[in-house]
């Protein structure tokens, strides 16, 4: 089982999706609903806007139906599904639509669901923490680490790598050079290998999604030295909010089917507002059985509480926040800057706010 920022893994086979989608499409047609296709990497609460909108029937209330989510198990596959036309809308990393645009097919961010990166946490081995590696700066000290520090991301080039490298580049070692100049990056894989490698001493530190941080600290073999929930630490490195998880769509879809785009944004915006008002336990009751039933209720509850601290309730991507993000994405995720006006369309969010914000 893979517990990542994409946590709570519950993927659905392509054949099952196709069969269910066909049956649901028939029902939707009979009800006068227009089907739309959605994708996210795994069914986790960080993508709770999709899950809640479906379970609360907000999509149907907006005149559309969602036969079933396309859940391929990785962000790169979500990009492929959208670019290939298998999905109309995607919820995922903000650098993904930028990559699509960079390859010559314009994609647009149409809302943001969070303001901080939940997988930029850095967890160090507990024995190193006890020896004095209690800060990001200390990772650059071979006398404390015992060697040139080995830091694991899920994969070189992944989101954990992009944000981790940025944190280490923005943090200076005692010699005035970036901490990133003093470490070696390796690919650590998914939860079993990442946590196992840290516990066994193969890695000195890992980039950690909340679930990994919880596990390492509760089991006593890891300690966080950079925690994105620490506002001061976050702002020191990133300078403010960043639209990390976004809803995105091909520009051609916006041009051809603006009514469907509006319906999608309305439904997900309503889901975000429901999440904001709902009790944590109520959210768990709604989502655990259909999407997260392999996890203990208390673990799902912990994740809900974590993500509610970083969710962006108004869905708006401000230009200043976008520029904060571009500093991270360039050049690790994209080769050249993409202007805000080309990458972001907030018109649908503004209309959703006007209709549903009391």
Identify the band that residue 32 occupies on the pLDDT scale cut at 50, 70 and 90: confident
Q: What is the pLDDT of residue 182?
A: 98
Where is pLDDT greater, at 73 or 182?
182
Contacts of 216 (CB under 8 A, 6+ apart): 123, 126, 195, 198, 199, 206, 208, 222, 223
Q: What is the pLDDT of residue 13?
A: 44
pLDDT, mean of residues 279-307: 91
| Cα–Cα distance measured from residue 269 to residue 346, given in angstroms and rounded to the nearest whole number | 12
Identify the band that residue 14 occupies on the pLDDT scale cut at 50, 70 and 90: very low
Q: pLDDT averaged over the chain?
A: 90
Tokens 């976008």 correspond to 322
Bridge-based pairing state of the strands 245-250 and 89-93 = antiparallel
- The matching CATH number, chosen from 2.60.40.420, 3.30.499.10, 3.40.190.10, 3.30.70.1140, for 14-115+241-356 is 3.40.190.10
Q: Taking Cα atoms as reference points, which of 205, 245, 209, 187 lies closest to residue 119?
A: 209
Q: What is the pTM assigned to this prediction?
A: 0.84
* pLDDT beyond 50 at 109: yes
pLDDT, mean of residues 302-311: 94
Q: Is residue 210 helix, strand or coil?
A: helix
266-291: pLDDT as tens digits: 999 999 999 999 999 999 999 999 99
* pLDDT beyond 70 at 183: yes
Domains 14-115+241-356 and 121-238 share a fold: yes
Contacts of 234 (CB under 8 A, 6+ apart): 116, 228
Give the CATH number of domain 121-238.
3.40.190.10
* Ranges of each domain in the chain: 14-115+241-356, 121-238
| Cα–Cα distance measured from residue 150 to residue 97, given in angstroms and rounded to the nearest whole number | 31
Q: What is the pLDDT of residue 157?
A: 81
Least confident piece of the model among 38-42, 108-112, 199-203: 38-42
Least confident piece of the model among 28-42, 135-149, 243-257: 28-42
pLDDT, mean of residues 330-346: 94
A 10 A CB-CB count for 178 gives: 17
Tokens 């139906």 correspond to 65
| Cα–Cα distance measured from residue 255 to residue 234, given in angstroms and rounded to the nearest whole number | 37
pLDDT, mean of residues 207-225: 92
Which tokens in the block code for residue 214? 């919880």
pLDDT, mean of residues 333-345: 95
Question: What ranges in 56-92 are assigned the alpha helix state H?
Answer: 58-61, 75-83
């Amino acid at each position: 089982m893979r517990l990542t920022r994409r946590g709570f893994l519950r993927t659905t086979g392509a054949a099952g999706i196709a069969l269910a989608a066909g049956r649901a499409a028939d029902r939707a047609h009979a009800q006068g609903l227009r089907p739309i296709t959605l994708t996210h990497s795994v069914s986790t609460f960080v993508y709770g806007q999709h899950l809640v909108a479906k379970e609360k029937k907000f999509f149907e209330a907006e005149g559309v139906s969602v036969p079933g989510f396309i859940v391929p198990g990785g962000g790169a596959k979500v990009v492929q599904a959208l670019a290939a036309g298998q999905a109309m809308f995607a919820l995922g990393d903000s650098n993904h639509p930028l990559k699509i645009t960079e390859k010559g097919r314009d994609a647009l961010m149409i809302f943001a669901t969070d303001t901080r990166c939940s997988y930029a946490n850095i967890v160090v081995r507990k024995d190193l923490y006890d020896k004095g590696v209690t800060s990001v700066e200390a990772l650059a000290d071979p006398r404390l680490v015992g060697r040139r520090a080995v830091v694991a991301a899920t994969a070189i080039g992944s989101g954990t790598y992009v944000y981790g490298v940025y944190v280490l580049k923005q943090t200076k070692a005692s010699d005035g050079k970036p901490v990133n100049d003093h470490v070696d990056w390796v690919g650590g894989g998914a939860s079993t290998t990442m946590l196992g490698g840290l516990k066994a001493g193969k890695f000195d530190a890992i980039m950690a999604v909340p679930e990994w941080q919880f596990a390492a600290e509760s089991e006593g073999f890891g300690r966080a030295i950079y925690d994105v929930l620490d506002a001061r630490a976050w702002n020191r490195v990133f300078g403010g909010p960043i639209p990390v998880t976004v809803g995105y769509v091909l520009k051609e879809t916006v041009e051809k089917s603006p009514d469907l785009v509006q319906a999608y944004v309305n439904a997900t915006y309503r889901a975000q507002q429901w999440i904001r008002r709902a009790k944590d336990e109520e959210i768990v009751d709604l989502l655990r059985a259909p999407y997260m039933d392999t996890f203990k209720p208390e673990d799902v509850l912990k994740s809900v509480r974590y993500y509610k601290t970083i969710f962006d309730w108004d869905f708006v991507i401000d230009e200043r926040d976008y520029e904060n993000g571009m500093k991270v994405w360039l050049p690790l995720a994209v080769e050249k800057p993409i202007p805000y006006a080309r990458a972001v369309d907030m018109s649908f969010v503004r209309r959703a706010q006007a209709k549903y914000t009391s």
